[in-house]
Amino acid sequence: MGKLDPIYSEFETEEEAQAYDTWFRAQVQAALDSPEPDVPHDQVMAEIDSIIEKHRAAQARMGG
């Protein structure tokens, strides 16, 4: 079990890092293989901007 330096890695061991990498790659491949239609970047960014603005407005109303 190879310990990793916390300055360079968020994982404690090589095994944890490899397990995460395997999981992440599987998630990406599943998304690439998905039959769902692609969502244009501009649409995603507009939706995220709207969510952020709603949260900012709510914080402002609460005095935060």
Residue 8 identity (one-letter amino acid): Y
Q: Measured between alpha carbons, how far is 32 from 20 in angstroms, rounded to an integer?
A: 18
**Predicted local distance difference test score (pLDDT) of residue 38:** 93
- The predicted pLDDT at position 63 comes to 86
Dist. CA 57–CA 53, nearest whole Å: 6
The amino acid sitting at 20 is Y
The DSSP secondary-structure symbol of 12 reads S
pLDDT at 1: 62
Write out the chain's pLDDT in tens, 64 residues: 678 777 878 888 889 999 999 999 999 999 999 999 999 999 999 999 999 999 999 999 998 6
Domain ranges of the chain: 14-61
Its pTM stands at 0.57
Q: In the chain, what is the straight-line distance between the N-terminal and C-terminal CA atoms, in Å?
A: 46
